Structure 1
Amino acid sequence: MHQQEDCMDRRSFLTKASIGGVGAAGAAMLASPMIAQTSPKVTWRMTSSFPKSLDTIYGGAEVLSKMLSEATDGNFQIQVFAAGELVPGGAPAADAVSAGTVEACHTVGYYNFGQDPTFALAAAVPFSLSARGINAWHYHGGGIDLYNEFLATKNIFALPGGNTGVQMGGWFRKEINTLADLQGLKFRVGGFAGKVLTKLGVVPQQIPGGDIYPALEKGTIDAAEWVGPYDDEKLGFYKVAPFYYYPGWWEGGPTVHFFFNKAQYESLTPTYQSLLRTACRAADADMLQKYDYKNPTAIKSLVGQGVQLRPFSPEILQASFTAANEVYAEMEATNAPFKKIWESIKGFRNDYYQWTQVAEYNYDTFMMIQQRDGKL
């Protein structure tokens, strides 16, 4: 009797195992098409507004591309092209995305300031927020949604894609101490900052990055700004303009954006949309981390090569702040989308600097004193 039961149990087990095996195989066959559906083949082209030589800021697009490819087994590919390879850098990059010539670009919104100053607000405008502040506004203050409400009219969907931290004020062939020294100064600076500085007597010059050095060398311009120590050293400005001013009050925390053709973004599966948003956020953080790590070494290197660091005087900073507020008032009176976004930023800016002067400012100030006293 026990032998018969054993045989029956074995046959029952084998039968169930066979059924289970068929079920597992069937499940696998059913699962494969579902996985394929959530990871379709997508190939996009992304034009950058930056040259490959600037590995930090240009590299942000490559970081995004690598993350998406790795997360999808190569199914979601973004091919990155440097400025000029497909589309010129600057404003044309966003224009190409809007028109659908390319699916995406990596750029800074203020390059399109001339079309509408609202483009600049989520990137950087004079005396706005620091990198930490603007990121807080983007991700938790509704900034991303407000910006995309405006960009939807341009057939663009945007996500933050990097930040340089507060920038330097630029390279000057001579010292700038007073407002009188700004009169007639030919300064390579564009967009919002140029409009503000015009009120102080500066003559803004729009010059592509690759043409700045020869213009400074020949004296065609008197000064030029770019980003900060790490990038600026690569471009060699210190060889022809020894005075390096700070801070770049027009870019206290400039956000570089990924602009996507809105229709193309909306055509992605929900899974890909979610993955893209996550990868953009990671690339956004990665760029600022790189600059924070590389700039300290670069500034020491520059000073070692004879660069003269100079702060903008309180007189110049205060006059610039006043002039900027005059420009803002003019724009708010005539541009409703601009006013809506700027009021949101201003509201948070007030609270943000009230808070940061408590713990953050005092901690940093104490540690800076220790550094200057050689105790770190």
Structure 2
Amino acid sequence: MKPTRRTFMAGAAASAALAAPAVVKAQQVTSLRFQSTWPANDIFHEYAQDFAKKVNEMSEGRLRIEVLPAGAVVRAFDLLDAVSSGTLDGGHGVVAYWYGKNTAVALWGSGPSFGMDPNMLLAWHEYGGGKELLKEIQKAMGVNVTSFMYGPMPTQPLGWFKKPVTRAEDFKGLKFRTVGLAIDMFSAMGAAVNALPGGEIVPALDRGLLDGAEFNNASSDRSLGFQDVSKICMLQSFHQSAEQFEVMFNTGKYEALPNDLKAVIRYATQAASADMSWKAIDRYSKDYIEQQKAGVKFYKTPDAILRDQLKIWDEMIAKRSAENPLFKKVLDSQKAFAQRSGRWQNDTTIDYRMAYNHYFAQSKPKA
């Protein structure tokens, strides 16, 4: 077939198109300003930065989250309102800090959680109805935020004191720092509770405004300087035995993102949850040893105090349930999930301490 002028021109146009340089559309970048509820030197702020780094890298630069430390824009306990109003695009903290707006949110970490460990509580949140309940509570609170829960925290110490706590009566009249529903628990034990944010605890202990305080873990406590004002730390408590972190976004900012970037955020949160768990084991165990080198004495909280905490908790949740229907709704949901999952976990999990003691001459915390 003899080429026509039309086929010649079409071929020439195609060749020209292949030879021409491609015109690349400029990549749209969305920048979000976050603040954590933690001091810049705290490992918790590092966790917040780790989350942001994962989002930034997974989005290939299309989403850029900058994380500022507590106080950079607002005080730690003002973060929720700042994100809700749009003063900040998002933040990193714990839902127990919003206890004053609705007591039900503190159940994401305060108390014994019906025997669930922190990872089980996250399982309840993801698969047992917790996510839906949190949205319902946030609607009742009137806040414009979208939250992601992640990062199971190991059991928190009872706290730091001037001398070992040997019985529940030792809390009577004690000026003590804690947050969330733990305020109710320690108040019922006789303490005078002050809910200070993390960065204000050690100065208050140093000035004698507090007689004792709890924060969270060996690394955070060390960076905050607890060992400089106290040499006694009591390990194990039910006041916050299954807590986790919250990453929150202003809902308007989050909903404006394209679907693929929303997916990046969801999966980055899950990745950050696993990474945080692994990093915590590495860092907390190192700082636990460093604290002891600095002269800190660790003692196991007596079982009698732990049993008293459970009794107090039962009385407290009965009262709070009568006051707040959403509080009861969360408890009922957790209890149903805990009864099933706890039975499975307790029946199937091996006693790791047996193997540990088999291989190591362990120096146990004193009872």
TM-score calculated relative to the size of structure 1: 0.86
Partners of 2:103 and 2:28 lie apart in 1 by: 38
Q: CA shift at 1:245, angstroms?
A: 0.7
SS of equivalent residue, structure 1 residue 271: helix
The equivalent position to 1:46 in structure 2, one of 5, 12, 34, is: 34
Contact 1:148 1:156 in 2 (8 A): no
Residue-pair matches, total: 355
Aligned pair 1:227/2:213, yes or no?
no
After superposition, the Cα gap between the structure-2 partners of 1:25 and 1:333, relative to the gap in structure 1 and judged at 3 Å, is: farther
Q: CA shift at 1:97, angstroms?
A: 1.1
Partners of 2:147 and 2:20 lie apart in 1 by: 43
After superposition, the Cα gap between the structure-2 partners of 1:371 and 1:273, relative to the gap in structure 1 and judged at 3 Å, is: same
Partners of 1:41 and 1:103 lie apart in 2 by: 15
Q: CA shift at 1:127, angstroms?
A: 0.6
Q: Which has the higher helix share?
A: 1
Matches within 5 A, 1:210-225: 210-225=199-214
Aligned pair 1:261/2:250, yes or no?
yes
**Residue of structure 2 in register with 1:138 after alignment:** 125
The one-letter amino acid paired with 1:145 is E
Aligned pair 1:73/2:60, yes or no?
yes
Contact 1:166 1:247 in 2 (8 A): yes
Matches within 5 A, 1:294-313: 294-313=283-302
**Residue of structure 1 in register with 2:112 after alignment:** 127
Contact 1:51 1:82 in 2 (8 A): yes
The equivalent position to 1:100 in structure 2, one of 83, 86, 89, is: 86
Contact 1:108 1:257 in 2 (8 A): yes
Aligned pair 1:197/2:182, yes or no?
no
The one-letter amino acid paired with 1:121 is L
Task: Report the RMSD for the aligned CA atoms in angstroms.
Answer: 2.7
SS of equivalent residue, structure 1 residue 175: coil
Contact 1:106 1:259 in 2 (8 A): yes
Contact 1:57 1:162 in 2 (8 A): no
Deviations, residues 17-64 of structure 1 (Å, cap 9, x unaligned): 9759858989x77xx66xx7xx6421111111011101x211222122
TM-score calculated relative to the size of structure 2: 0.88
Q: CA shift at 1:16, angstroms?
A: 7.5
The one-letter amino acid paired with 1:116 is N
After superposition, the Cα gap between the structure-2 partners of 1:188 and 1:127, relative to the gap in structure 1 and judged at 3 Å, is: same
Stretches of structure 2 that go unaligned for 5 or more consecutive residues are 363-367
Partners of 2:136 and 2:102 lie apart in 1 by: 14
The one-letter amino acid paired with 2:71 is G
Contact 2:239 2:309 in 1 (8 A): no
Identity, % of aligned positions: 28
Q: CA shift at 1:256, angstroms?
A: 0.9
The equivalent position to 1:368 in structure 2, one of 353, 356, 360, is: 356
Contact 1:189 1:205 in 2 (8 A): yes
Q: CA shift at 1:141, angstroms?
A: 2.0
The higher radius of gyration belongs to 1
Partners of 1:112 and 1:138 lie apart in 2 by: 17
The one-letter amino acid paired with 2:138 is L
Matches within 5 A, 1:157-168: 157-168=146-157
Bigger mean CA offset, 203-212 vs 219-228: 203-212
The one-letter amino acid paired with 1:137 is W
SS of equivalent residue, structure 1 residue 357: helix
SS of equivalent residue, structure 2 residue 64: strand
Q: CA shift at 1:171, angstroms?
A: 0.6
Contact 1:194 1:204 in 2 (8 A): yes
Deviations, residues 215-245 of structure 1 (Å, cap 9, x unaligned): 2233321111111111112222123222111
Partners of 1:24 and 1:363 lie apart in 2 by: 69
Partners of 1:231 and 1:371 lie apart in 2 by: 29
Q: CA shift at 1:139, angstroms?
A: 2.3
After superposition, the Cα gap between the structure-2 partners of 1:372 and 1:97, relative to the gap in structure 1 and judged at 3 Å, is: same
The one-letter amino acid paired with 1:131 is P
Partners of 1:283 and 1:233 lie apart in 2 by: 23
After superposition, the Cα gap between the structure-2 partners of 1:331 and 1:25, relative to the gap in structure 1 and judged at 3 Å, is: farther
**Residue of structure 1 in register with 2:281 after alignment:** 292
Partners of 1:370 and 1:218 lie apart in 2 by: 45
Contact 1:57 1:287 in 2 (8 A): no
Deviations, residues 224-277 of structure 1 (Å, cap 9, x unaligned): 111111111222212322211111322212111011112221121111111111
After superposition, the Cα gap between the structure-2 partners of 1:371 and 1:52, relative to the gap in structure 1 and judged at 3 Å, is: farther
**Residue of structure 1 in register with 2:102 after alignment:** 116
Q: CA shift at 1:159, angstroms?
A: 0.2
SS of equivalent residue, structure 2 residue 44: coil
Q: CA shift at 1:121, angstroms?
A: 2.2
